């Protein structure tokens, strides 16, 4: 009985620590705080005087320190630039067998004609996977801070939002709506083109995903969050976001596994699918940032 109540207490304390509540004041600390300060506190005038002299000293030193830092930075960068190999020379260290191999065998090894796509999605796929994870985590942390739920929203906020919605309903902007009506399909079409064509031409997951996210933002700002919810609810959003990352991880894991064990490669269109996965993650990140900062909900 005693044990279980102690456990409960621990859990409560951990929960309150996670929530950021202040810990109840410890008695020992309280005793220490009540002691007299060792040095007598300076009076108001004295403190002001001291602050002023500090400030004066600071402003005397500030330009000197700034100049020294700037000059030394410029010196370091100049030294680095001077010791760099000449641009475009044939015997530069960057022109080694690695880039040669990428350019010569990239198409047959990865199946994508665009050397950049072959590099970022196949040869350097782990790097891109890390980038996708960073985007995913960024949107997750922004959601943690800004997402509106029943715990951090009170009646006042809800009422304010409702009145803002009513104002937005009454003052619908016909210019924006007509422009969006024409532009949104074009933007989506272009995004899909860039996403699917990343294998063979400039483009790919990151640029296509950004265009897709921009189209979503335009649609949301032109037609309001109510219409946005018809095509993208919070559940769909989370599912798509997670699906993109999981698809990437699975495909790239399979790719690494096949390559490492010399198995026959049946994943011909893999670059395309990875492109799509990256595009989904990027689009969700871009739109998620907009929605979180604008309204605090998807």
CA dist list (Å): 37 to 29, 33, 117: 14, 9, 66
Contact window for another protein (CB under 8 A) among 5-13, 58-66, 180-188, 205-213: 180-188
Task: Please select the residue that binds another protein; options are 133, 147, 161, 183, rule is CB under 8 A.
Answer: 183
Residue with Cβ nearer another protein (65 or 189): 189
Residue with Cβ nearer another protein (49 or 172): 172
Residue labelled with tokens 């990352």:
245
Residue with Cβ nearer another protein (71 or 179): 179
How far is it, in rounded angstroms, from Cα 246 to Cα 218? 27
Residues 186-215 that bind another protein (CB under 8 A): 186
Residue with Cβ nearer another protein (175 or 230): 175
- The number of helix segments (H) and strand segments (E) in the chain equals 11, 0
Contacts of residue 216, defined as CB under 8 A and 6 or more positions apart, other chains included, come to 228, 232, 283, 286, 287, 290
Counting residues that bind another protein (by CB under 8 A) gives 7
Contact 195, 209 (CB under 8 A): yes
Q: How far is the CB of 182 from another protein (least distance, A)?
A: 7
Residues 114-173 that bind another protein (CB under 8 A): 173
Q: How far is the CB of 233 from another protein (least distance, A)?
A: 27
Contact 268, 255 (CB under 8 A): no
Residue with Cβ nearer another protein (21 or 169): 169
184: contact with another protein by CB under 8 A: no
Contact 222, 202 (CB under 8 A): no
Residue with Cβ nearer another protein (148 or 295): 295
Contact window for another protein (CB under 8 A) among 82-90, 121-129, 181-189, 201-209: 181-189
77: contact with another protein by CB under 8 A: no
Contacts of residue 196, defined as CB under 8 A and 6 or more positions apart, other chains included, come to 208, 272, 275, 276
Cα angle vertex 236, ends 284, 279, to 5°? 30
Residue with Cβ nearer another protein (30 or 182): 182
Residue with Cβ nearer another protein (81 or 175): 175
Contact window for another protein (CB under 8 A) among 150-158, 179-187, 228-236, 282-290: 179-187
- Give the torsion through C-alpha atoms of 116, 203, 113, 105, to 10 deg: 10
Task: Please select the residue that binds another protein; options are 71, 134, 179, 267, rule is CB under 8 A.
Answer: 179
Residues 9-48 that bind another protein (CB under 8 A): none
CA dist list (Å): 164 to 3, 167, 169, 292, 293: 52, 5, 9, 16, 15
Task: Please select the residue that binds another protein; options are 31, 94, 175, 230, rule is CB under 8 A.
Answer: 175
How far is it, in rounded angstroms, from Cα 88 to Cα 83? 15
176: contact with another protein by CB under 8 A: yes
Residue labelled with tokens 């202040």:
22
Task: Please select the residue that binds another protein; options are 18, 182, 230, 235, rule is CB under 8 A.
Answer: 182
Give contact residues for another protein (rule: CB under 8 A).
Answer: 173, 175-176, 179, 182-183, 186
């Amino acid at each position: 009985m005693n044990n279980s109540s102690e456990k409960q207490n621990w859990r409560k304390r951990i929960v309150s620590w996670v929530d950021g509540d202040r810990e109840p004041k410890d008695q020992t600390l309280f005793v220490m705080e009540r002691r007299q300060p060792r040095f007598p506190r300076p009076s108001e005038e004295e403190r002001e005087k001291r602050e002023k002299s500090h400030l004066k000293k600071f402003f005397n030193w500030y330009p000197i320190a700034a100049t020294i830092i700037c000059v030394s930075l410029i010196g370091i960068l100049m030294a680095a630039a001077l010791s760099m190999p000449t641009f475009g020379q044939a015997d530069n260290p960057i022109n080694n067998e690695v880039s040669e191999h990428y350019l010569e065998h990239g198409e047959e090894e990865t199946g994508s004609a665009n050397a950049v796509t072959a590099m970022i999605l196949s040869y350097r796929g782990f790097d891109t996977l890390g980038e996708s994870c960073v985007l995913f985590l960024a949107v997750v942390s922004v959601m943690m801070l800004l997402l509106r739920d029943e715990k951090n929203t009170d009646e006042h906020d809800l009422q304010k939002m409702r009145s803002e919605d009513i104002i937005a309903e009454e003052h619908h902007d016909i210019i924006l709506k007509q422009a969006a009506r024409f532009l949104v399909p074009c933007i989506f079409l272009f995004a899909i083109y860039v996403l699917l064509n990343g294998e063979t031409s400039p483009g790919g997951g990151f640029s296509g995903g950004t265009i897709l996210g921009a189209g979503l933002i335009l649609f949301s700002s032109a037609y309001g969050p109510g219409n946005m919810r018809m095509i993208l609810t919070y559940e769909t959003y989370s599912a798509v976001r997670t699906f993109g990352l999981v698809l990437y991880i699975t495909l790239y894991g399979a790719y690494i596994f096949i390559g490492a064990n010399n198995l026959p490669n049946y994943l011909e269109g893999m670059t395309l699918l990875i492109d799509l996965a990256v595009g989904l993650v990027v689009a969700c990140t871009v739109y998620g940032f907009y929605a979180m900062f604008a309204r605090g909900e998807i």
